[in-house]
Structure 1
């Protein structure tokens, strides 16, 4: 049973396999208020068949098949036994420090339990009632709840131009205003915004208003047309809440959501208040590594929540009970229903967006959810409104292992209690034709395209291929064991996973493929074809060839000088030709330094998004200066080629001059095509 996958805020899924770790410590004592377990399902005893002496019975059918095994009822003992069998093993195998798991049903807490350590050095166990975790982007659900509270009070209009609520202006583009509805469905058209998303030190934290004004990203899509997940858009919505409510965002959330729900161990404040800081779980990227520092999020409404498992239980119960928790109400029934109903379905046949939730409703039980990822924690929240069931899990430690834990746990619970029983439909006769049609290179709609982070698009594309058995494969969509999934067509431009349940679909307009996506990916983004003019299929080889030419030219230059010295053969060049040759050598050195500097900058950003706090800006300016010098290098290399061509025939020298000139021109094209020369340092 598949569901909406979490959005990750950090690196992709290509991390190496995590090493095996020591067995996980014993789980902390259970802290829950379970419902009485329903009586077991009665079943008639099966009498054994008579057996002859010496007969083992291995060759006989003892029980006639009676259909699929009965689905167990959702109960505290059964769920706890299942989760206890999965989580400690996942912690041990993945090197995870700890995890908290919460299960609510029909307004009650069935399970709220901690596993592993909150503090490994101190031997402090995870505790669902007191240990705080950072659920990352699940924070957005609180921001959207706050927005809807103000909508139902008549203070906000989902379809008004957001500039009417701001004290600065979102730049006009595409001739259409951005609305809160666009922000809540991640369709405002903003490019990915990374600068100042995290702060390295408390002193570098920015006020929410200062943040949204300083890092306003470009709008790269018309509003309402392309899904593009945006942390900036959520921060903008939080700032609107702050301005309209006329109180700080943190205060508003505490007064209007935390207090009614009794969430006394939750906070958006950074750093944490003293009363909560001692209970913050520590996370380690690897055994023996120091704990990751408390992460400081400038886009606070998008991801700064600190909370406990039991507090998240209250929040889930409120949304499952149409905005009510016990005797308190955080949303009116009609408002809560509006948040849960389908609003946008980017690709027919796949999952949808509501006003803030990712909604899975293409098959199986309807689920609403949101995931969250920080450097320290991997979390997921899933609600089943029809069954009044909610699941929250948060794990600390290596990101890949944390994602695997909450994927396996939540998918396992859904399969256990709500198994899909639909028969697999036949493959369509159009499988080959439509498979050929969607073949090609694709990139995520969640991207940076107007700044140097656009370089990342070269190495993050997905390749769709048609296989010999008329199934299709998407290089970025893989099974838990790392194998690429295969899909067969079951409806027009709709594919189902072979040996699985997930779907793949394409959006086609006028026989042109606009986008492809899967319900393995939230509806807040899709894959779109890469334009041929900047396809990595030829740009990456060009980049490598240019680098090889530069390195070989610089390496062979002193070798040639040494050979001439040993053989007493002087370099037969006039003074102008010698100058051109020397300047070309200097220019090639500058281009190599330019490449190494960008590699270093991007590697820093890959290691931690916290490095994009502005501290790299001086190096970016130096790289841009070297980019300008690459133009002069290309001109000098062209003049050197002209001089070599006018000399008596020396084929090797001409060939080298041609290769160097072409490589230098390629560098200039790459400098501008990869958006490294943008004057603005907003990225």
Structure 2
């Protein structure tokens, strides 16, 4: 685990204490520190100090669970193409964060220990003050928003403060919720990636802890058009892989915040079929940077950067706790797709004119009418267009065919081979720049041909920063 974390630990991007972003690797790092401080393996330490005292005999961090526990392991399912499909067991290198197999009965003992501030029957795993410290709120983006404790995240609903933790993995999902003041613990596990915890908790609270008037009147707070415009834009969840080629998944975590009617804001996802859709939410201003959501009375806040510009939206998709960063116009999915579309069309034309057309003319016994000394330049343009088209089509297709979950075991050879193509075309794009300059200086071809070649060169050059932005230039695994 130490070797893995040393190589793959995500870098610290934000100033500590400024923003909240959950990271499984951070939890794995804590587990590794347990090993270093205690001098014994993490799994052994947890078994001795937590599982055994709490009589959690059917819980383990071993992958897969040892016999006889393995015989009772639920099969995980993933919803694909209109039906549930059984999925294989997922082995991970971040065991402390994602590899515990357990039962609801065992987790009941764990929850009882927390509700009794560290004690289960005659055993004690934590001092009472330590448990209270874990349960306290240690960070929030705004006083009216739920925040986080140590390992627990808050949920505020029906005037009840809950703390808990969610888990989702290939084939499984789980939810642990504690209501310390009500002395209640709820654990939900499902053998599918999409769980039912969120809806269940809301219905549970409405049934047993109803609030007669959930929608309290909101004191009007009018914002000017200019103030509302400051807040609108496209925002991206902070929890995305910034430094690997998996950054291409970032658009799945985009939301749009736009002006609504009567001085409100609306939250929605970009209107793209592959992004999925969230319901549209309406935000009513309560303070200049604080809004209340009409649909469920949750709050959303906005944050400024050091220059006073709006840079963040906090908890826009409650009950998820976290920050969304406002992105520049050129990072929006439509602009990125527009650039990709332009490049793809130009690359296709280069492929046709630079390779296909001369080949067809040669098969027909006709010469390719272009100055001989510059014919090689069109072949290179055709090669650049062909290789870039292969990359644009091949990479998403290969990732779709292999199932992205398999990337936790390493990058398949076909993907590595495809990532070699941009390295080749980047060098060739610089060659195209030389040929373009010579064509214009020497007035070599008809104007339309020079313009076409210049467009191919431009597309090849634009493609370089585009690839770099998405971490696709080089082997960034």
Contact 2:301 2:315 in 1 (8 A): yes
**Equivalent residue of 2:283, what SS?**
strand
Alignment correspondent of 1:411: 202
Alignment correspondent of 1:664: 460
Determine which of 337, 346, 350 is the counterpart of 1:540. 337
* 1:390 to 2:185 alignment: yes
Deviation of 1:372 after TM superposition, in Å, equals 0.6
Deviation of 1:649 after TM superposition, in Å, equals 6.9
Contact 2:146 2:321 in 1 (8 A): no
Alignment correspondent of 2:242: 449
**Equivalent residue of 2:300, what SS?**
strand
Q: For 1:477 and 1:418, how far apart are their aligned partners in 2?
A: 36
Deviation of 1:358 after TM superposition, in Å, equals 0.2
Q: For 1:431 and 1:244, how far apart are their aligned partners in 2?
A: 56
- TM-score, normalised by the number of residues in structure 1: 0.63
Alignment correspondent of 1:486: 282
Contact 1:441 1:463 in 2 (8 A): yes
Going from structure 1 to structure 2, the CA distance change for 1:564 and 1:270 (only over 3 Å counts) comes to closer
Going from structure 1 to structure 2, the CA distance change for 1:574 and 1:542 (only over 3 Å counts) comes to same
Q: For 1:560 and 1:369, how far apart are their aligned partners in 2?
A: 64
Deviation of 1:242 after TM superposition, in Å, equals 1.6
**Equivalent residue of 1:353, what SS?**
coil
Alignment correspondent of 2:257: 464
Alignment correspondent of 1:577: 374
Deviation of 1:291 after TM superposition, in Å, equals 2.8
Contact 2:268 2:278 in 1 (8 A): no
**Equivalent residue of 1:488, what SS?**
strand
Deviation of 1:677 after TM superposition, in Å, equals 3.3
Q: For 1:431 and 1:415, how far apart are their aligned partners in 2?
A: 36
* 1:356 to 2:147 alignment: no
Alignment correspondent of 2:228: 435
Determine which of 87, 90, 106 is the counterpart of 1:311. 106
Higher RCO structure, 1 or 2 (CA under 8 Å, sep 6+): 1
Q: For 2:417 and 2:159, how far apart are their aligned partners in 1?
A: 54
Unaligned runs of 5+ in 2: none
Deviation of 1:392 after TM superposition, in Å, equals 1.2
**Equivalent residue of 2:72, what SS?**
coil
* 1:425 to 2:218 alignment: yes
1:25-424 matches, cutoff 5 A? 208-286=1-79, 291-361=86-156, 364-397=159-192, 399-400=193-194, 402=195, 405-420=196-211, 421-422=213-214, 423-424=216-217
Q: For 2:283 and 2:45, how far apart are their aligned partners in 1?
A: 47
Identify the range of structure 1 (518-527 vs 352-361) with the bigger mean alpha-carbon deviation. 518-527
Determine which of 516, 528, 537 is the counterpart of 2:313. 516
**Equivalent residue of 2:74, what SS?**
coil
Going from structure 1 to structure 2, the CA distance change for 1:559 and 1:274 (only over 3 Å counts) comes to closer
Determine which of 380, 402, 406 is the counterpart of 1:610. 406
**Equivalent residue of 1:274, what SS?**
coil
> Which has more radius of gyration?
1
Deviation of 1:461 after TM superposition, in Å, equals 2.3
**Equivalent residue of 1:285, what SS?**
strand
**Equivalent residue of 2:292, what SS?**
strand
Q: For 1:305 and 1:567, how far apart are their aligned partners in 2?
A: 67
Q: For 1:475 and 1:595, how far apart are their aligned partners in 2?
A: 28
Q: For 2:140 and 2:157, how far apart are their aligned partners in 1?
A: 10
Q: For 2:365 and 2:116, how far apart are their aligned partners in 1?
A: 91
Alignment correspondent of 1:105: none
Structure with higher helix content: 2
**Equivalent residue of 1:453, what SS?**
helix
Q: For 1:481 and 1:529, how far apart are their aligned partners in 2?
A: 19
Contact 1:444 1:527 in 2 (8 A): yes
The Cα RMSD (Å) is 3.0
Q: For 2:356 and 2:409, how far apart are their aligned partners in 1?
A: 43
Deviation of 1:317 after TM superposition, in Å, equals 1.4
Contact 1:348 1:505 in 2 (8 A): no
Identify the range of structure 1 (268-277 vs 569-578) with the bigger mean alpha-carbon deviation. 569-578
Deviation of 1:459 after TM superposition, in Å, equals 5.1
Alignment correspondent of 1:625: 420
Q: For 1:497 and 1:347, how far apart are their aligned partners in 2?
A: 15
**Equivalent residue of 2:454, what SS?**
helix
Q: For 1:414 and 1:477, how far apart are their aligned partners in 2?
A: 32
Q: For 1:325 and 1:520, how far apart are their aligned partners in 2?
A: 36
Deviations 1:465-512 (A, max 9, x none): 11233221222499x994311211123322122232222111235632
Unaligned runs of 5+ in 1: 1-207
**Equivalent residue of 1:410, what SS?**
helix
